[in-house]
A and B are shown apart, each in its own frame.
Chain A
Amino acid sequence: MNTASLRVVAAGPLVTFQDGGRLGHLRHGIPASGPMDRRAHAIANVVLGNPAAATAVEISRAGASFECVGASLTVAVVGGRFLTSVNGVAVGSDVAMTLGPGDQLVVAAGPSGSWAYLAVAGDLVASQWLGHTATHSLSGLGGGNVTAGLDVEVLATRADPRVDGPVGVFAGNGLVDGAVRVVLGPQDHRFTAEALRHFVTVPFALTEGFDRMGVRLDGPQLDLDAALSIPSEPIVRGSVQVAGDGVATVLLADHQTTGGYPKIATVVSADLDALCQLRPGDSVRFVPVTPTQAIVVARARAAAFEKFLDSDLLATRRLARRLTETDLIGDVGTDILG
């Protein structure tokens, strides 16, 4: 089996290893972490024939660059219209490509988007914590930060130029007119009628206070009905928490697991990926849906994404995988065209 590595030439802050997430440990104070844009992460993996939750590198707007070392390697960069280039030649965004030893890959912020995923055809090696490589940015536990000088090792590499080229974009992922659907509560009853009215009628802008833990919003001050101190309650990804100063924050992948500030609403999971891809200054408006509607949305989105992975995205991939399996049986190795 071939091994290759991606030598990190440069990497800005918040470039981390992420698998699909460390679910099931909220009760231990541990959020799932995992990708900020879960669908882009899954697409980058699946287009290469990896499991959807395989480890990839999450790249922030600060960007990152790599040199391919040792063997040819097919990679995909998906999410957020980042600008990708190989040896100085632009190859677009949402794209798969096969790198040869010495090739330089640069991933930089493009016209929009905040997070891109670099997936590799093979097994990316990263340290695990509680069985997952997802990096919890506050502690650094998990795979950890991807920093300059690091060699990202890839075992069982596959060079598979047949998947090179544009990667299908999942059309169902965007926000319509900046609308972010929320289920009100669990503490909406703690707010004034005016605060609740403002929350669902006045636009909010994302601020620079935006990292993997959450994004602080700029908008109307949301006042509580009465001064209160509620015992700390559990928090989920997507909780819209309002601090004592009336400022709202949407909690994201590395959210704190409990908090004593009231939560006015919770963003539906279908709209969280797109929210994470916005940038400071971008504007959103919150549209309330009932819990029942939220379930319908979640199921429709899951079905649409499943269909996308099964049909459009993988049309090429299924062919490639069949050929690869044939080669494996013949023990020719996986580097079939390299």
Chain B
Amino acid sequence: MNRFASVGDSAVLVELASEFTEQANQHVVALDQAINRAIDEASVVGIVETVPAYVSVLVVFDPLVTDHDAVRAAISLLDTTGAATVDPSRHHVAVCYDLGVAPDLEAVAAYSRLSPDGLVEAHLSGSYRVVMYGFAPGYAYLSGVPDSINVPRKQQPVRGVPAGSVIIAGGQCLITTIEMPTGWSVIGRTHFRVLPDQPDAPFAFRPGDEIVFDRITLDEYEATS
């Protein structure tokens, strides 16, 4: 049963589950798509944007046009029983795992009782899916990190982690888009840009998309840009 909570004067949070599972998140993607279909078909009024997350969807509305109860009622009427209708895309992301650009790889390997190569193999073996964008611009949270490399966050964030870093923590993985401090572990680097600076397609991923990491050498990394 979905839990609806009012958020301030202009949003409703729909919680579909209390814990993350792939199935719960697929319901999130389906509900998010259903609401946006309804917006496109103009069968709901006043909904400004939706934000899909791990187990919830935030529905932002214009309080001059509608209110919490009307939005809640409109969402409850939507048919979300079917699977998501927009087919996910698959993206290949070339990652260099050389220690020179992967400062935390050895520590994560040691924590996971793996060799550095074993850690890379484990990371490559995950079946990654975009759960949501969160926190900062273009930060696409990926599920599917193998349990064998589930490392906690560091005690203290490290400053100056460059854009394009492949970082993991707590069973999550993402590719950074801006230089920022992070407490996650940096295990690789990529030229792939989640914010590709293309005005007609400014975001590389959609929630639900599949991501495949491919290993490249430092020479291959440095030969490309």
* Separation of A256 and B141 alpha carbons in the complex (Å): 14
Q: Is the CB of B136 within 8 A of A292?
A: no
**Residue A127 at the chain B interface, CB threshold 8 Å:** no
Let me know if A258 and B7 touch, CB within 8 A: no
User: Which of B48-56, B86-94, B105-113, B121-129 contacts its partner?
Assistant: B48-56
Q: B97 at the A/B interface (Cβ < 8 Å)? A: no
| A238→B8 CA distance, assembly (Å) | 8
> Contact check: which of B9, B135, B138 meets A269 at CB < 8 Å?
B9
- Residue among A130, A258, A269, A297 with the most chain B CB within 10 A? A258
Q: Mark A165-177, 1 if CB is under 8 A from B, else 0.
A: 0000000000000
Judge if B158 is at the interface, Cβ distance under 8 Å: no
The answer to whether B8 touches A28 (Cβ under 8 A) is no
Which residues of B, 28-73, contact A by the 8 Å Cβ criterion?
Answer: 48-58, 60, 63-64, 67-68
Q: Is the CB of B134 within 8 A of A257?
A: yes
Q: Which of A28, A182, A259: most chain B Cβ within 10 A? A: A28
Q: State the Cβ distance, B141 to closest chain A Cβ, in Å.
A: 7
A294 within 8 A of B: yes
Report yes or no: A233 in contact with B56, Cβ–Cβ below 8 A. Answer: yes
Complex CA–CA separation, A302 to B8 (angstroms): 16
Contact size range, B? 35 or more
Tell me if B13 is interfacial: C-beta within 8 Å of chain A: yes
Does the CB pair B49–A138 fall under 8 Å?
A: no
- Interface segment among A19-27, A37-45, A55-63: the answer is A19-27
Let me know if A185 and B137 touch, CB within 8 A.
no
Task: Kindly identify which residue among A136, A234, A294 contacts B8, using a CB–CB cutoff of 8 Å.
Answer: A294
Q: Is the CB of A295 within 8 A of B134?
A: no
Within 8 A of B (CB), among A148-194: 182-183, 185-187
Q: Point out the residues of chain B lying under 8 angstroms from A136, CB to CB.
A: 137
A257 and B48 within 8 A (CB): no
* A29 pairs with B136, CB closer than 8 A: yes
Indicate whether A232 reaches chain B with its CB closer than 8 angstroms: yes
B203 at the interface (CB under 8 A from A): yes
Interface residue? A267 (CB, 8 A) = yes
As a 0/1 sequence over residues 151 to 189 of chain B, the CB contacts with chain A under 8 angstroms (1 = contact) are 000000000000000000000000001101000000000
Q: Does B11 contact A (CB under 8 A)?
A: yes
Verify A295–B51 contact, CB threshold 8 A.
no
A299 interface residue per 8 A CB criterion: yes
Q: Are A234 and B135 in contact (CB under 8 A)?
A: no
Residues of B within 8 A of A267 (CB): 8
Expressed in whole angstroms, the Cα–Cα distance for A27 and B135 within the complex equals 10
Bound complex: CA A139 to CA B136 (Å): 9
- A298 within 8 A of partner (CB): yes
Is the beta-carbon distance between B137 and A139 smaller than 8 angstroms? Answer: yes
| Besides the known contacts A29-B137, A292-B68, 20 further A-B residue pairs in the complex with CB atoms under 8 A apart | A27-B207, A28-B203, A130-B202, A139-B136, A139-B177, A183-B6, A183-B8, A185-B5, A232-B54, A234-B134, A256-B136, A257-B133, A258-B134, A259-B134, A259-B135, A266-B8, A269-B8, A269-B10, A298-B10, A302-B64
14 CB contacts below 8 A, A to B, read A24-B48, A26-B60, A27-B50, A186-B7, A232-B53, A232-B54, A232-B141, A233-B15, A236-B60, A257-B133, A266-B11, A269-B10, A292-B67, A298-B63
